[in-house]
Chain A
Amino acid sequence: MFLTPWQTLVMILAITLGTMLTRFLPFLLFPEGKKRPETIDYLGKVLPPAMMGLLVVYCLKDVSLTGALHGIPEGAAILFIVLIHRRKHNVLLSIGAGTALYMLLIRIL
């Protein structure tokens, strides 16, 4: 341990406050039952697909295209997941098979 236990507790508290602020703020700004600006309702509709796109990229942000594997395991596994999911529409199958393929590829390539 680098910090004292009290310092560590304060750090945990500080990080908790930061996280909680980002989670609770929208609900505090737009409380239940109060009329919201139309723009907010519009954003609530279009943000989910946009944020899902962001999350996909966010998960892959540390993949190096110039590294030893050139991002091939990630690329191949994602392509496989999209194809199998469009065909079978089974969430667990797509994720299970895709993850298995990825784990295999990083071991054999």
Chain B
Amino acid sequence: MKTEAAKEDALLGLRRAFAAAFPRTIPVLTGFFFLGVAYGLLMEQKGYGPLWSFLMSAFAFGGSMQFVAITLLTTVFDPVQAFLMSVMVNARHLFYGLTMLDKYKDLGKLRFFVIFWLCDETFSLTSSMEAPEGVKPKYFYFAISFLDYSYWVASTLLGGLLGGLLRFDLEGLDFALTALFVVLFTEQMGKRENRLPGLAGLAAALAALLAAGADSMVIPAMLLILIILLMGRKKLCS
């Protein structure tokens, strides 16, 4: 049994973590708002109302795959193909998990959720940031993951509900996500030991894009990265 004091401690810790996490997730909020509304609107136009957008976002939770899935929902029913495509489009999460094995340790009941919510944007934040002084790491990672997840789910719901009514010209707002990755990449490149793997990732992705094309670049890029990193191990470790 948890005592009252322990419960209050946990609540206070959570509140601190959310206060520290929120400003760091503002770029994600910006990008997800635009993309989420666009997604909800697109689903609505294909005859899938806000409830369907909500269910898809809440469970499948993966932006790029959800956009791909709109096509799958408007053609012959084929769940096996949907499953396989989902694995391929989302394969990059495998590498995120490998990276977070240590940071996502000793999380108790929160562990399931931080893994469930591990998207590109959350990974980019939790992998490159440490919890500030006085904030428990496990609550910090949970807060970032939860905030990013709720931004996405809420935005897609909103897009389905009133996307047609939004008259602002928001085109280009999703560039906030590109900007976020560019900034975090720049920060990582500031550390000497990150330079070679960073450049390897950039070069491998460019090569995969040129060779395999925009729609199927992810897996070739991951394989190339893996090969380069494993072959260059001696050099990178020294």
Contacts and interface: CB of A to CB of B under 8 A. Distances in A.
A106 B98 CA distance: 38
Contact of B206 (A3, A30, A57, A92): A57
A36 B95 CA distance: 15
Contacts of B6: none
Contacts of B183: 81, 85, 91, 94-95, 98
Interface residues of B, number: 99
B99 A48 contact: yes
Contact of B185 (A11, A17, A53, A92): A53
B13 interface: no
Contacts, number: 257
Given A42-B233, A54-B92, A91-B27, A11 B79 contact: yes
A92 B127 contact: no
The main secondary structure of chain B at its interface with chain A is: helix
A99 B83 contact: no
Interface of A: 1-3, 7-27, 30, 32, 36, 39-40, 42-44, 46-62, 74, 77-78, 81-82, 85-86, 91-92, 94-95, 98-99, 102-103, 106-107
Given A8-B52, A19-B93, A95-B27, 13 more contacts: A11-B79, A18-B65, A27-B101, A43-B95, A46-B197, A53-B198, A53-B205, A54-B204, A56-B182, A57-B209, A77-B179, A85-B187, A99-B173
